[in-house]
Amino acid sequence: MSSTLSPQTREKLKGVSTATLASALFKKGLRNQMIQGSVPLSPPKGGSMVGVAYTLRYMPAREDLNPMTVFRNHSHPQRKAVEECPEGAVLVIDSRKDPRAASLGGILATRLMRRGCAGIVTDGGFRDVAEIGALDMPSYQARPSAPTNLTLHQAIDINVPIGCGDAPVFPGDVVVGDMDGVIIIPAEIADEIADEAVEMTAYEDFVIERVRNGEKTLGLYPPTDERNLELFAAWRKERGR
Amino acid sequence: MSSTLSPQTREKLKGVSTATLASALFKKGLRNQMIQGSVPLSPPKGGSMVGVAYTLRYMPAREDLNPMTVFRNHSHPQRKAVEECPEGAVLVIDSRKDPRAASLGGILATRLMRRGCAGIVTDGGFRDVAEIGALDMPSYQARPSAPTNLTLHQAIDINVPIGCGDAPVFPGDVVVGDMDGVIIIPAEIADEIADEAVEMTAYEDFVIERVRNGEKTLGLYPPTDERNLELFAAWRKERGR
Amino acid sequence: MSSTLSPQTREKLKGVSTATLASALFKKGLRNQMIQGSVPLSPPKGGSMVGVAYTLRYMPAREDLNPMTVFRNHSHPQRKAVEECPEGAVLVIDSRKDPRAASLGGILATRLMRRGCAGIVTDGGFRDVAEIGALDMPSYQARPSAPTNLTLHQAIDINVPIGCGDAPVFPGDVVVGDMDGVIIIPAEIADEIADEAVEMTAYEDFVIERVRNGEKTLGLYPPTDERNLELFAAWRKERGR
Amino acid sequence: MSSTLSPQTREKLKGVSTATLASALFKKGLRNQMIQGSVPLSPPKGGSMVGVAYTLRYMPAREDLNPMTVFRNHSHPQRKAVEECPEGAVLVIDSRKDPRAASLGGILATRLMRRGCAGIVTDGGFRDVAEIGALDMPSYQARPSAPTNLTLHQAIDINVPIGCGDAPVFPGDVVVGDMDGVIIIPAEIADEIADEAVEMTAYEDFVIERVRNGEKTLGLYPPTDERNLELFAAWRKERGR
Amino acid sequence: MSSTLSPQTREKLKGVSTATLASALFKKGLRNQMIQGSVPLSPPKGGSMVGVAYTLRYMPAREDLNPMTVFRNHSHPQRKAVEECPEGAVLVIDSRKDPRAASLGGILATRLMRRGCAGIVTDGGFRDVAEIGALDMPSYQARPSAPTNLTLHQAIDINVPIGCGDAPVFPGDVVVGDMDGVIIIPAEIADEIADEAVEMTAYEDFVIERVRNGEKTLGLYPPTDERNLELFAAWRKERGR
Amino acid sequence: MSSTLSPQTREKLKGVSTATLASALFKKGLRNQMIQGSVPLSPPKGGSMVGVAYTLRYMPAREDLNPMTVFRNHSHPQRKAVEECPEGAVLVIDSRKDPRAASLGGILATRLMRRGCAGIVTDGGFRDVAEIGALDMPSYQARPSAPTNLTLHQAIDINVPIGCGDAPVFPGDVVVGDMDGVIIIPAEIADEIADEAVEMTAYEDFVIERVRNGEKTLGLYPPTDERNLELFAAWRKERGR
């Protein structure tokens, strides 16, 4: 597991949503950290997907360089990435937003899960989605895609900075995913953002409880009415948050 | 609740599909009333979503006008819309077909439900989709989107005529949604269209029953064979429709 | 049922995935046989959807030629196709990748199921998706679409070569669908491809079992390590495959 | 030359714009006759392009059916169309709005010009655009595209009804093009539409002259102020129109 | 002419490019002020197009509300906008990025020119582009489009905040256009941005002169080598800039 | 100048079109070598643009890493690329097909020209297109774009394999451009392809001459009628080709 993500921060991030993180990043002037268009194959279990980004870059496939036999080469970047993506990391694939051929299939996804990876994300598509969606590891894609990646993609680089769904992803960044999709937290502010998101989440949980009870949002969200801050303080105390 | 939608018409519309309504509107020369590309977050319960349109218009966000602090202003159009959208109405948001930032999130959606609104529709996306999809109120969007709306959208107008998913929406129009999506019925013909759709639905129910029993569609759908009209009359009598 | 698809080949194809078929076709130089962008309305039951392609071509609708009354004509190509699509065949509709109006609705889909058709595929959308998705026959589309096909589509030709989701489809080609989508196998190589896919599937099943048990993929997938071929031979024997 | 287009109507249509024709067709309820997205390679000379539609339909290319050698077959539909498109007709190609491979190149375009064709239209692209743009025959396309059509397109049908740029095109329809693009007039109303467009053009010419002289448009365009109709009558008399 | 744009600022802006303005706005944190996708119909003469934004908002057209006769109403927003857009202002039209029907045609454009307007901008298309492109007033659009605006657009609001090509446009903002396209300067910073852009332009002119003479860009652009600032000071003195 | 492109091959390629090259590559099974969607800013002079590819890769810009001051760093990849792109080479930029911010502007393009580069290609857009289009060096882009590249792009790698307009580009590949756009010839077959293209061009020139004189294309193009090969032999002799 990469040293940039402490167990504490990982745990905190499991309990917050990508929406809250997007707001925390927005306050820091970061507006494009959401991977646009990638959705989960199945609902993540046990909290949000959290892991350090391990990246794989695809370029358009040239036919003569991409016969089926390339996979016999043990250093083929796609196969190498699957065997080297660290435990607890998320494999993030730059498929140039092209889901017409697969980024990856069921066998490699199963291997990643077995190796203890935290998830897989592509801005293209997966093949064998029924199989991948049933794994005990979250995965995100634009839409299913059966053709082998060789049809349109050539894996060319491992662990370099990439774009994924129009978001910048640097190796070591922290990747968080939930039902809304996947967001990238720059490594250097991951702890700080996690802390802020935990605080924001506490207030949002307080708000949603009150809204469910019939409270109006004006004055409460955000807390322009001071009394709400007092009530929130009491609420936190009561719940030990 | 707006006076343009009688309880009778509301009830009728709950029992008909957007497909049948689209055909009824087509016969009147209205071909673009379907909100293109918005799908339900979860299957509507208790019949189709029905309500009068209460609209919210977004324009592209200018960064200096859209810091997080704008929400402290109680007259911010998004927050105002959520507190003022009438009971039984559907909040329809013109997000310029841009789902890269959220139109709305879980807290505001919960407030709308609590206030008795009939549903929410956007041609953009929602954040907190797991939460919104679990509400006891239907919601429609293009795809999930975690970033706060301030990232790309500025709420600018309430209850003005808008476009949503390429459909024209006037405040007071009647909004109906099912698993196929959302359709807009001009206010002035809502009663008439509801009546026709109820009639069409009766015939379609008769047809589907017969088709399930092995009948062929030629002559039956539409009823070019007169005998089918007689059988239909008998069928209605029998069922009291 | 078309003579181009033997019961044996049909049975074999039911047991293989579109991903495996895409790879088998890729090896033959066929890279564009996947119908891009069409997804299943619900998970296929009892194996992959398999059938011979029976095609329907749509062109853009001219308003004066497409009033609702055209369906009174028993030789309207859409209605004719529904009554003539052979048992065991798949109706494949060229909707010019335009889901803004429906390709077909619940009544016609039910009729196709009742007539024993193997499935329906469009690169546009269906209306009545709740109903169609619940049928005991698989169906594939880009997204739901309530407006009647007359709004934008005019059915013009039956059983001619078409494009569907950018794939070439000739009448008589073999159509296979699973959760990843739909692929087209040229009629003349269907038997051969089915045989190869069955072989590939056996090896993939062997691989996935071993990967689940913690085996690494290098040397195993593809089998560059000879021992894996021996283990596979034993595995097949054991399982009688 | 097709009998559906009289020399008189052809001459009238040369003098009117696609904008005026679009309005005349709109009044008849035809809203989708403009070929969307196709622009002229160079400004048409001697008035608008006018001719009867002779159509060519492309489907997605299957690799095994489209080696370079297919052009050795004299009945290949693309080559046949080029030799059979009638004098005075416009070749309209349904390239499924895909300009990633050429619809046609310089040699075939030159042949069409030499044979007296009135123009070429595709919703894809041409190769050799410098050459085609310099021909003494108008041509319309989405964007240039060097790859041979075999790369993605297979010519499959001649003179069948097609879609081109989302417009319905029936063989025999009348095709008119200017700097705004290309519009399709249904054969059966071509004479009537031409007459109306000539009348409308006369009034528009009168209007533009007056607007250039500083007149305001309200009351003049459309002529809600009766005096403008009198002035127009005088203007026509004076100019013999 | 709007009071927000002084003759001095107008004159300064005529001499600077949209690229320089985009950089000046970027430094202030404004990244989305460029109207995306709109290109000039012909090269602007006498410097960049400059004017205050006067806006027109289109919504999707509902067929029953948009027969050709609506233009007989003198208060139809499109026609009213054309007669009321102030001298020296730029008419900016929100066509929802949909060029399938025209935003405006030759007669109205001519009237705008005659009334002394500074230009027209749409994120849709114009009809009569040959005519509009020949006017002595710049115009910007996505692509030509002959169908009357009633086909898909209904003019609904005058001089409200709009989106155009994904940029926020408030009435009174300053609009500048050149061959690269159109940029929007918020009214309140127009003077300041104009001043900065004039300064930047002086340095860029100095740089381009030196680069043409063979100078390398490192150290010069930006001036990290101090000597370049001295040379620039001398250059300005010499030229009186 | 890179050693992979001999002066002889360069000269040959200047005399052939991208269309002819696309056909020559198609015969070798390479179907995706055309950079899709990039068009020339102005007609190339003195034959086709020819040069060895020198690549620059952009990723999505993260705001905190891309203030205007990054250009003060002399090793910023964009600025470095401009000073290091070899004489006679073509700078090919992977802008992820996103023209919403510029790939490059007038000053850097002028520097590239001054340094003897053979051209610039991006699948995004240029700023200062009037200036760049007037340079004595060809340039290709999707559409003009004034915003500084920092707005959306971060230059991250020099001379690595990239995608550009969906084509694979390896450093050292040979880049050829004409009015149809830009094509990439793999380095290792550049000589061979150039030879074949010269041969094909000779025959095409012969054909076009005969077609202009009224010859029909069947039997001539391709030469299925043997006599045409004899006539061609005579034609070549006569012209010394």
Query: Rounded to an integer, what distance in angstroms lies between the CA atom of residue E197 and that of residue F204?
Result: 52
Structure tokens at A34: 């959401």
Residues 154-193 of C with CB under 8 A from D: 154, 156-157, 160-163, 166-168, 186
Interface contact D105, partner F, CB < 8 A? yes
pLDDT at D3: 53
Interface contact C128, partner B, CB < 8 A? yes
pLDDT at E45: 87
**B32, B63, B96 ranked by CB distance to E163: nearest:** B96
Helix axes F226-239, F190-212, angle to 10 degrees: 100
Record: contact D61-C29, CB cut-off 8 A? no
Reported as a single tens digit per residue, the pLDDT across D219-238 is 999 999 999 999 999 999 99
pLDDT at F3: 52
Query: Rounded to an integer, what distance in angstroms lies between the CA atom of residue C138 and that of residue D134?
Result: 52
pLDDT at B2: 45
Average pLDDT over residues D5-33: 98
Average pLDDT over residues C119-143: 98
Nearest residue of C to residue B31, measured between CA atoms: C151
Cα–chain center distance at B129: 18
Record: contact C110-B26, CB cut-off 8 A? no
Query: Rounded to an integer, what distance in angstroms lies between the CA atom of residue C198 and that of residue E232?
Result: 74
Query: Rounded to an integer, what distance in angstroms lies between the CA atom of residue D176 and that of residue D145?
Result: 24
Give one DSSP letter per residue of D69-136, joined into a string.
GGGGSTT-HHHHHHHHSPTTEEEEEE-TT-TTSEEE-HHHHHHHHHTT--EEEESSEESSHHHHHTSS
Query: Rounded to an integer, what distance in angstroms lies between the CA atom of residue F63 and that of residue F65?
Result: 5
Please list, in sequence order, all residues whose beta carbon lies within 8 angstroms of the beta carbon of residue F28, skipping any fewer than 6 positions away. A64, F189, F193
Nearest residue of C to residue B33, measured between CA atoms: C147
Query: Rounded to an integer, what distance in angstroms lies between the CA atom of residue D222 and that of residue E69?
Result: 9
What class is the C7-185 domain? alpha beta
Q: C107: distance to nearest CA of chain D, Å?
A: 27
Give one DSSP letter per residue of F135-162, joined into a string.
SSS-EEESS---S-GGGTEEEEEESS-E
At C30, the amino acid letter reads L
Record: contact D145-F180, CB cut-off 8 A? yes
Label residue B4 by pLDDT band (50, 70, 90). confident
Buried b (16+ CB within 10 A) or exposed e, C82-107: beebbebbbbbbbbbbbbbbbbbbbb
Task: Determine whether E219 is exposed, middle or buried from the number of CB atoms within 10 Å of its CB (0-12, 13-18, 19+).
Answer: middle
Record: contact D64-C166, CB cut-off 8 A? no
Query: Rounded to an integer, what distance in angstroms lies between the CA atom of residue D142 and that of residue E123?
Result: 18
Structure tokens at E2: 């709007």
Record: contact E32-B63, CB cut-off 8 A? yes
**Mean pLDDT value across chain D:** 96
Please list, in sequence order, all residues whose beta carbon lies within 8 angstroms of the beta carbon of residue F188, skipping any fewer than 6 positions away. none
Record: contact E19-F114, CB cut-off 8 A? no
Structure tokens at E180: 């690269």
Phi, psi of F92 (to 5 degrees): -110, 120
Please list, in sequence order, all residues whose beta carbon lies within 8 angstroms of the beta carbon of residue E10, skipping any fewer than 6 positions away. E50, E51, E88
Record: contact C34-A130, CB cut-off 8 A? no
Interface contact F21, partner D, CB < 8 A? yes
Instruction: Give chain F positions within 8 Å (CB) of D131.
Output: 208
Interface contact B107, partner A, CB < 8 A? yes
DSSP for residue D42: S
Record: contact E22-F71, CB cut-off 8 A? no
At E181, the amino acid letter reads G
C41, C66, C115, C127, best to mutate vs chain B, most B CBs in 10 Å: C127
Q: C178: distance to nearest CA of chain A, Å?
A: 9
Structure tokens at C191: 């038997």
User: pLDDT above 90 covers what percent of chain C?
Assistant: 96
pLDDT at E2: 45
Record: contact F19-D102, CB cut-off 8 A? yes
Among the CATH numbers 3.50.30.40, 3.40.50.720, 3.90.650.10, 1.20.140.160, which is that of D7-187?
A: 3.50.30.40
For C180, other C-beta atoms within 10 Å of its C-beta total: 29
Domain residue extents for chain A: 7-187, 193-239
Label residue E44 by pLDDT band (50, 70, 90). confident
- How far lies B200's CA from each of B24, B223, D114, D189, in Å? 8, 12, 57, 34
Helix axes D226-239, D190-212, angle to 10 degrees: 100
B217, B224, B232, best to mutate vs chain C, most C CBs in 10 Å: B217
Query: Rounded to an integer, what distance in angstroms lies between the CA atom of residue F213 and that of residue E78?
Result: 53
Whether F and E touch, i.e. at least 3 CB pairs below 8 A, reads as yes
Interface contact C15, partner D, CB < 8 A? no
Structure tokens at A240: 């030990």
Q: A89-94 and A119-122 as β-strands: parallel, antiparallel, unpaired?
A: parallel
Whether F and B touch, i.e. at least 3 CB pairs below 8 A, reads as no
Residues F142 and F99: beta-carbon distance below 8 Å: yes
Query: Rounded to an integer, what distance in angstroms lies between the CA atom of residue F80 and that of residue E65?
Result: 58
Record: contact A32-F156, CB cut-off 8 A? no
pLDDT at B45: 87
Query: Rounded to an integer, what distance in angstroms lies between the CA atom of residue B241 and that of residue F26?
Result: 65
Record: contact C224-A72, CB cut-off 8 A? yes
- Could you give the 3-state DSSP secondary structure of residue B35? strand
**B180, B211, B219 ranked by CB distance to C146: nearest:** B180
pLDDT at D1: 40
Please list, in sequence order, all residues whose beta carbon lies within 8 angstroms of the beta carbon of residue C221, skipping any fewer than 6 positions away. A71, A107, C207, C211
How many residues does the structure list for chain F? 241
Average pLDDT over residues D199-213: 97
Record: contact D60-C32, CB cut-off 8 A? yes
Please list, in sequence order, all residues whose beta carbon lies within 8 angstroms of the beta carbon of residue D192, skipping any fewer than 6 positions away. none
pLDDT at A3: 52
Nearest residue of B to residue E57, measured between CA atoms: B162
Label residue D2 by pLDDT band (50, 70, 90). very low
Structure tokens at E191: 């003077």
Record: contact C31-D63, CB cut-off 8 A? yes
Structure tokens at F123: 């699948």
**A2, pLDDT greater than 80:** no
Record: contact C146-B216, CB cut-off 8 A? no
How many residues does the structure list for chain C? 241
Q: Among B61, B175, B153, B45, which residue's Cα sits nearest to residue B99? A: B153
The chains in contact with chain F, meaning 3 or more Cβ pairs closer than 8 Å, are A, D, E
Angle, alpha carbons D51-D55-D59 (nearest 5°):
150
Query: Rounded to an integer, what distance in angstroms lies between the CA atom of residue D136 and that of residue D122?
Result: 18
Query: Rounded to an integer, what distance in angstroms lies between the CA atom of residue F190 and that of residue C35?
Result: 35
Residues B199 and B12: beta-carbon distance below 8 Å: no
Average pLDDT over residues F4-12: 95
Cα–chain center distance at C68: 30
Average pLDDT over residues A195-200: 98
Record: contact C34-A107, CB cut-off 8 A? no
Interface contact F96, partner A, CB < 8 A? yes
**Mean pLDDT value across chain B:** 96
Record: contact C218-A79, CB cut-off 8 A? yes
Residue keyed to tokens 């939930």: A178
pLDDT at C1: 40
Helix H or strand E encompassing B71: none
Residues B149 and B155: beta-carbon distance below 8 Å: yes
pLDDT at F4: 74
Structure tokens at C100: 């803004």
Residue keyed to tokens 């077995």: A114
Label residue C45 by pLDDT band (50, 70, 90). confident
**What are the residues facing F176 on neighbouring strands?**
F50, F183
Query: Rounded to an integer, what distance in angstroms lies between the CA atom of residue E123 and that of residue E99?
Result: 7
Interface contact C21, partner A, CB < 8 A? yes
pTM of the predicted structure, to 2 decimals:
0.98
Residues F82 and E217: beta-carbon distance below 8 Å: yes
Phi, psi of E105 (to 5 degrees): -125, -170
**Mean pLDDT value across chain C:** 96
Average pLDDT over residues D187-204: 98
Structure tokens at B56: 């919210």
Instruction: Give chain C positions within 8 Å (CB) of D167.
Output: 60
Query: Rounded to an integer, what distance in angstroms lies between the CA atom of residue B121 and that of residue B130?
Result: 16
Record: contact B31-C151, CB cut-off 8 A? yes
Q: F156: distance to nearest CA of chain E, Å?
A: 18
Record: contact F218-D83, CB cut-off 8 A? yes
Average pLDDT over residues B225-233: 96
Q: Among B65, B57, B64, B35, which residue's Cα sits nearest to residue B178? A: B35
Q: D174-178 and D119-122 as β-strands: parallel, antiparallel, unpaired?
A: unpaired
Average pLDDT over residues E123-149: 98
At F115, the amino acid letter reads R
Average pLDDT over residues C32-45: 95
Nearest residue of E to residue B67, measured between CA atoms: E29
**A1, pLDDT greater than 50:** no
Interface contact E42, partner F, CB < 8 A? no
DSSP for residue B180: T
Please list, in sequence order, all residues whose beta carbon lies within 8 angstroms of the beta carbon of residue E230, skipping any fewer than 6 positions away. none
**D35, pLDDT greater than 50:** yes
Label residue C4 by pLDDT band (50, 70, 90). confident
Residues A167 and A35: beta-carbon distance below 8 Å: yes
Instruction: Give chain F positions within 8 Å (CB) of A154.
Output: 161, 168
